[in-house]
Structure 1
């Protein structure tokens, strides 16, 4: 069976990114600045509970190296900014080689440095001398595991979701029986992604304060609510839309999960509408009188009408092409059903 693009041409082998990347850039900037601020703030805000010289290195379970408190605050932030600057230079001069691992490196390194800084603060908290710092133990393993997990999850979220480039034009032939078809596109709202990053940093700050032994400074209700809000906002900030011979698939968030699937047998028709935020009833995931709307940016939207009389609307690039393919699939499904009904007459 042969895989085809929606125009009936072979799928391109050249990997490309679909949809806007502005949100990812802004979220990355928020992450870089936010992690640097956390690395500096964690020890300095606990200055009154830390010795002037803090333990920063351990041999086994005993501290064997120290730094002045200010240096201990600034040194990890300097390392972090050097890593970010190196990746920025790589993206500038070697974008093809650098782009794939930029996100995972930033995520893993940020978690590693922030976790290490929180452990240093916790070990030195309420100690008169740096030599009296608490030993390091299982927290080192947990920090390394968390950094690795952050890197893997970021790689999964940022890897290219498609290997084809939508081309203009929506005049599509009806797919032949047995022919596989695919159309892929995406859309994102960069302000929602930035908002998710800011809320996520607030959540991370609360966890780091707790990990640093400063549970009395943590408002757990606000921390939990900010974490939940960050997840919800992130899931609603981007979509990956796919049309195949099995119907319409809409994946939410950076991982394309969860997924809403509508089979051709559930659909009546597909069309394109140009909507504004007011016409859509607001931004994000909306449930209204006409059905369900996933509205991320003004402009063209893919609208499908189901056999239940409701509509599902999603703002996505190249919506005209997706609607044309869906209508072809709906027509083919109806013809197949009619043919089967005709070949099996009722007794």
Structure 2
């Protein structure tokens, strides 16, 4: 598989942006509401929904920030030695813990807002349920994305790749990531998250007219920031985004031929998923593209590394299927 370096760099940048964003939220939430919080802040609630534990104000941003930093250090120190299946859990841990700590911090700030004493803090029961649900969902998405990335790791090539005897099964896999699109998605997502967290903490009114569009745009950009092309005896499969969805598939019998072509964003009308006189092009980086010519419909091109080998394998498989 080609493009592994791009994917790894993209994953590292995404993790770094998430780590920095969570740390900023944990510190900024209580500091931003400092003049509206009591000197001691309620941080624990008993079974009856009444606060039964507190911290001095200075400890409210410090304590969760230290917990988050310690988790990041542990993951950073163990990441290099981790195997694919173990690494698949790293994203899940980062997402679950980040959402859990941030949600808990927002709940604490909101419950203590404009209270003269911590004993009069509001209950946090519903917020805890929502936070836990969101954290579990985020962790599950991180685990699924991590397992998909680990499963995509290729075995070393053995022998000529294009010498494909009938009945044998060969797979070609290539991945391309656009770090600028990932960074754009991360910035939009962090702005939306910051607005939502500030609203949950009671610092601002609910800015859903801003949060919802930013969230949608961030998700769309993220889903178009990476692409994986996979050739199997069944045909070509092109999956988008870190979760590998949506997916476009062409059965091998539907592909007349495949080739390699040099393309630029100017030729196809820009970056991302583009429609032009050349057909459909997934343009994440200029240069080498795998281009297929279907038996019906417009041509499809995707900018991935090692496109020549993918095209050759598609042509070999198509010839075997038609008996040419």
Return the TM-score normalized by structure 1.
0.84
Aligned residues: 319
Q: CA contact under 8 A between 1:42 and 1:209: conserved in structure 2? A: yes
SS of residue matched to 1:282: coil
SS of residue matched to 1:301: strand
Match of 2:17 among 10, 14, 30: 30
Q: CA deviation at 1:309?
A: 5.1
1:135-188 CA deviation, whole Å, 9 max, x = no partner?
231322332222122112101112213252464997623551x54432222111
For structure 1, which segment, 96-105 or 147-156, has the greater mean C-alpha deviation from structure 2 after superposition? 96-105
- Structure 2 equivalent of residue 247 of structure 1: 235
**Alignment RMSD, CA only?**
2.4
The 5-angstrom pairing of residues 1-347 of structure 1 reads: 20-60=7-47, 61-92=49-80, 94-96=81-83, 99-159=87-147, 160-165=150-155, 167=157, 172-173=162-163, 175-176=165-166, 178-216=167-205, 218-308=206-296, 310-335=298-323
Q: CA deviation at 1:252?
A: 0.7
Q: CA contact under 8 A between 1:184 and 1:243: conserved in structure 2? A: yes
**Which of these two proteins has the greater Rg computed from alpha carbons?**
1
Q: CA deviation at 1:109?
A: 0.7
What 5-or-longer segments of structure 1 have no aligned partner?
A: 1-5, 7-15, 337-347
Q: Distance in 2 between matches of 1:214 and 1:263?
A: 54
Q: Distance in 1 between matches of 2:118 and 2:161?
A: 73
Q: CA contact under 8 A between 1:42 and 1:117: conserved in structure 2? A: yes
Return the TM-score normalized by structure 2.
0.90
Q: CA contact under 8 A between 2:255 and 2:318: conserved in structure 1? A: yes
What 5-or-longer segments of structure 2 have no aligned partner?
A: none
- Structure 2 equivalent of residue 11 of structure 1: none
Change (3 A) 1:312 1:175: farther
Q: Distance in 2 between matches of 1:20 and 1:169?
A: 26
Change (3 A) 1:297 1:309: same
Q: CA deviation at 1:255?
A: 1.4
SS of residue matched to 2:292: strand
SS of residue matched to 2:202: coil
